[in-house]
Structures are given as structure tokens and as C-alpha cells.
Amino acid sequence: MNIQVLIDEEKLQKRIKELGDQISKEYEGKEIIVICVLRGAAYFAVDLTKNIRSDKLLIEFMQVSSYGNNKETTGNLKIVKDLDIDIENKNVIIVEDIIDSGITMVNLKKYLLEKNPQSLKVCTLLDKKERRKVEIEADYVGFDIPNEFILGYGLDYEGHYRNLPYIGYNKE
């Protein structure tokens, strides 16, 4: 595959630090539950939480899918791994790798809101706004990106390329 760099490691880490600083300020003194959406957001959630200054932060993991094994969105949320903790009255931030059609995030937000958190925000590393099929806006966005199939730093093509330390796209 001919992979072109879209966001290099330095730019990526600089922006993640900015997001961490912003979240640190906005949640000062509050308990934060970060929900990392596996598997794509794993790299981002680790680096982001290292940049949030808080001694009341929990990192939790969920795995959901609305994609299957191809590039089409099916529209329904399959919960592969659910939360292990109760989020009622908690301040929750969903951490996602990318919002594309928006269908996954709309469904996930709906699911988590039923658990009555005190607050629920969305932090996505990448936002492909051009591709939206449903209305959803993230509260924190790392980078707006063009309509390309993206790889690296957690994002995969058939399971591969997640381990690239930068964000790239397939230039074929």
C-alpha cells in the first residue's frame, strides 16, 4: 500500500497535548470518566489521558461496531464489550478515533445517555465532516480531515496499520 502522511507524529502529539490541557482546565476538580472506544481510539486515549492533569480520572473501555468487515455502515450499534462501571451522575467523555458518517457516535451517545451521566461529551481525534449521514458534533476535535480512507495511530485497514505512529491515507 502506498501510504501518504497526512498528520505527522509531532503535529499529532502537539494537538493531543492541547486537547489534554483544555480538558484539564474544563474539568478541574471534577472526577472524569474517559471511555475509550476500542479498538481504534486506543492509541489516542492513552496519549490524551497522559496529558490530562487530574487525580480523579478513570479510563474505561468499550468496544462497539457499526461497520462489520467492510467500509459500509450498517446503522445499528453492536456492543462487543460493555462498560464495567456505573456512570450515573458521572462526568463522562467518550474518546473516539474518527467520526465519519456519525452513526456509531449517535447510537453510542444515545446508549450512554440512558445511564444518566451528569455530563456526556465527545472527544474525537479526527472528524470527516463531509461524510456525515446523521447530525452529530463532537465537543473536542483534534483535526478536521478530508474525505480519504485514513490509517495509522489506531485506525486500521482490515486490522492492519494501527501501529503507525502517524496518520496517513492510502494514495492509490
- Least Cα distance to 160 among 40, 4, 7 occurs for 40
What's the rounded Cα separation, in Å, for the pair 34 and 46? 10
With CB under 6 A as the contact rule, which of the stretches 4-12, 53-61, 79-87, 102-110 interacts with ligand IMP? 102-110
β-bridge partners, 168: 5, 151
Positions marked catalytic: 100
Give the residue, chosen from 9, 13, 46, 67, that forms a contact with ligand IMP under the rule CB under 6 A. 67
Q: Which is nearer to Mg ion, 40 or 102 (CB)?
A: 40
- Least Cα distance to 62 among 102, 34, 30 occurs for 34
Strand residues in the chain grouped as ranges (E): 3-7, 32-38, 57-65, 78-81, 91-99, 119-127, 140-144, 150-151, 167-170
Helix axes 9-26, 42-50, angle to 10 degrees: 60
With CB under 5 A as the contact rule, which of the stretches 6-14, 95-103, 110-118, 157-165 interacts with Mg ion? 95-103
124 binds ligand IMP (CB under 6 A): no
154 binds Mg ion (CB under 5 A): no
Q: How far is the CB of 104 from Mg ion (least distance, A)?
A: 7
Q: How far is the CB of 84 from ligand IMP (least distance, A)?
A: 21
Give the residue, chosen from 16, 19, 40, 121, that forms a contact with Mg ion under the rule CB under 5 A. 40
Contacts to ligand IMP by CB under 6 A: 40, 66-67, 73, 96-105, 149-150, 155
Contacts to Mg ion by CB under 5 A: 40, 97
